[in-house]
Structure 1
């Protein structure tokens, strides 16, 4: 998704995508978050090992909407660092979009 803490605007490709949030149950993983940051994420969205976000299949449980149509993150303001560093169109984005049959971003 975006790297800023502001709300994603209506023109963001992320709000019509969500592929990166539906790519693998092994992602998103917690990496550089401290305990205070992790405590802000509602427990129902954190996996049993406390190592990342809970997933339903390959889809992050905090993702709302239909992939490729309209999506949003229900914990956007407190999302993990790995989510904050996602960049629309980067290698990981392209890989996730291809997996969902979506065109890559240029």
Structure 2
């Protein structure tokens, strides 16, 4: 099942959160500067310092219930991988399918 974008596609993210619960390997660090990494609370960084700490597959910064209402607890300083996942892209579709949510397509 596919779903059209609402007027503001970012509203999907606030009612979804699937990408933040898809895989413990997804919220990884890649191109962040030392300053950007230092802005992320240490308690939310994994033991290897390679990405976000997860509880199972769920990022520890994710607040709320996937598919209902979610928010990122560190939105302003979230890793680059979190910034590049966009509503309706391949990663979004993959994550939404895992949680049985409809895939988003642009109209």
TM-score scaled by length of structure 2: 0.88
Partner of 1:90: 89
Using the alignment, how far apart are the partners of 2:73 and 2:22 within structure 1?
A: 17
Partner of 1:69: 68
- Residue 12 of structure 1: how far off its partner (Å): 1.4
Name the structure with the higher strand share: 2
Specify the structure having the higher radius of gyration (Cα). 2
- Runs of 4+ in structure 1 off by over 2 angstroms are none
- Residue 11 of structure 1: how far off its partner (Å): 5.9
5+ residue gaps, structure 1? 1-8
CA contact (8 A) 2:29 2:51 kept: yes
SS for the counterpart of 1:12 is helix
TM-score scaled by length of structure 1: 0.89
Partner of 2:13: 14
- Residue 27 of structure 1: how far off its partner (Å): 1.2
Partner of 1:50: 49
5+ residue gaps, structure 2? 1-7
- Residue 86 of structure 1: how far off its partner (Å): 1.0
Using the alignment, how far apart are the partners of 2:62 and 2:9 within structure 1?
A: 17
Partner of 2:29: 30
> RMSD of aligned C-alpha atoms?
1.4
